[in-house]
Structures are given as C-alpha cells and as structure tokens.
Structure 1
Amino acid sequence: MQAAVTEHRAEVAVLHLRGELDADTAGQLHATLAGLLERPVPRIVVDLTGLKFCDSVGLSAFITSKEVISARGGWLSFAGANPFLSQLLETVGLGRYFAIFPEVEDAIAAAQM
C-alpha cells in the first residue's frame, strides 16, 4: 500500500491510499494516521480511489482512529470507494459510522458546511 497526504482548505487533510491494505501494510496506515491525529482538531478525508483491497485489520485502523478523532471534535470520512470497498463498508456496518462520499471534492465541500 502507498499513502500520501495532501492539504486542502479548512484544514482538511486528504489521505490518498493506493494498492492493498491488509495485515502486512496496516502498520504504514497506523503511522500515517498517527501523524494526522496530532492535529488539534483532525479533519481527514480518506481517498479510496486507488485502494483495491482492504481487510479487517485495515478497517480496525480506521475505527481506532475515528475514536481519537471524535474525542478531539474532528472527523474522518471516506471518498471514492470502488464497488468492492463500498459493499465491504456497508456489509460491516461502517456506512453508519463514517460519512462516505462518491468523490473527494464532495467530502471536502461537506467540510465547508
């Protein structure tokens, strides 16, 4: 898995993920998220456009991070999930726990409201 962060208006960080997120690559995700969680009020959009696969270890990293983010008054949302990831997020019930947007721009625009 590859991870890159870009900054956008309203102090929103976009975490772009590519490849496969699984037990072998979850440590990299944890390290990247840890840096973003240092912000006073973390606002993170996870761009799933380039992510081809995610297992339960990857999902648990997002859930753990969301707890920290929520405690600080921030938020974490997803954008650009392919059909496999969209179905996975809904099947495990994360569609009720995270905001999911079709495009990164939609998630950033929602931050402005």
Structure 2
Amino acid sequence: MTIEFAVTTRDTASGPVLELSGELDAATAPDALEAVRLLAPSAAQQLLIDLSGLQFCDSSGISVLIAARNVAVAAGAEIALAAVPGYLARTLGMIGLAELFTTYPTTEDARKAWATSASGQ
C-alpha cells in the first residue's frame, strides 16, 4: 500500500519550512525538488525541513535533502531537519551525511533553538 505523498511549504519568521509526508521516493522526489527550487531563504534565516510525517525515504529522497541543503548554503542560510524518523537518521549516519544537517526532535525545538541563536543568547 502506497502512502500518499505531500509536500508543503510555509514562511515563518525564522525562514521557510518544507514539510514532507508520506513516501519520498523516485516517483515523488520530483515534486519535492520543485518545492525546494522555489524556496528562498535569506542569509539571516534557517531552512527547516519537517519530516514528522515521512513514512519512507529512498536515495531519491536523500537527494532532495541534499538539494535543500545546497539551496540554504547558496543563500548563506542555515538548514535543520526536524522529527527525523529513526530509519532515516540511521541511513544518513551510515552514508556519512548526518553531519551535514543539524537535527531537532520537533519543529518547535528547531524554532526555539533558532530564536535563541538569532538573538545572540
């Protein structure tokens, strides 16, 4: 059974949020990549990727995460992942990509950490 994929974006004071849910694979990665291409973080912001609804992610999905990181780096912004599923955290660690992303248990944790760092506390 395929879980319907959804990608949504929203702007917040700390920067854009990309929410991915369902199955991120070769069939759905193009939709996610299109959303990534439309993101416009600034140098003073954080691009946050909310993975709380992600049920599956293959190598195509990991490429989407790397593309999002590239968007953030090109803009001089930070990037963070929130609610990374255990299987994906293990995979990122095994392939040596875990250090590319700051991770938080929830989007709220990521927002609080960003607010603290942005205020210089």
Report the TM-score when normalising by structure 1.
0.86
Q: Secondary structure at the match of 1:23?
A: coil
Where does the alignment leave 5 or more consecutive residues of structure 2 unmatched?
Answer: none
- State the identity %: 32
Q: Give the match for residue 55 of structure 2.
A: 52
Q: Give the match for residue 102 of structure 1.
A: 105
Q: Deviations over 1:8-66 (max 9, x none)?
A: 223x2221111000110010011101111x34446311111100111111111221332
The separation in 1 between residues aligned to 2:51 and 2:67, in whole angstroms, is: 18
In terms of mean alpha carbon deviation, does 46-55 or 79-88 score higher? 79-88
In terms of mean alpha carbon deviation, does 78-87 or 62-71 score higher? 62-71
Give the structure with higher Rg (CA): 2
Q: Deviations over 1:73-98 (max 9, x none)?
A: 11221111222122122222221111
Report the TM-score when normalising by structure 2.
0.81
Q: Does 1:5 align with 2:9?
A: yes
Q: Give the match for residue 74 of structure 2.
A: 71
The separation in 2 between residues aligned to 1:97 and 1:43, in whole angstroms, is: 14
In terms of mean alpha carbon deviation, does 48-57 or 71-80 score higher? 71-80
Counterpart AA for 2:31? Q
Q: Give the match for residue 15 of structure 1.
A: 18
Q: Which structure 1 residue ranges, 4+ long, deviate > 4 Å from structure 2?
A: none
Where does the alignment leave 5 or more consecutive residues of structure 1 unmatched?
Answer: none
The separation in 1 between residues aligned to 2:98 and 2:41, in whole angstroms, is: 25
| Number of aligned positions between the proteins | 111
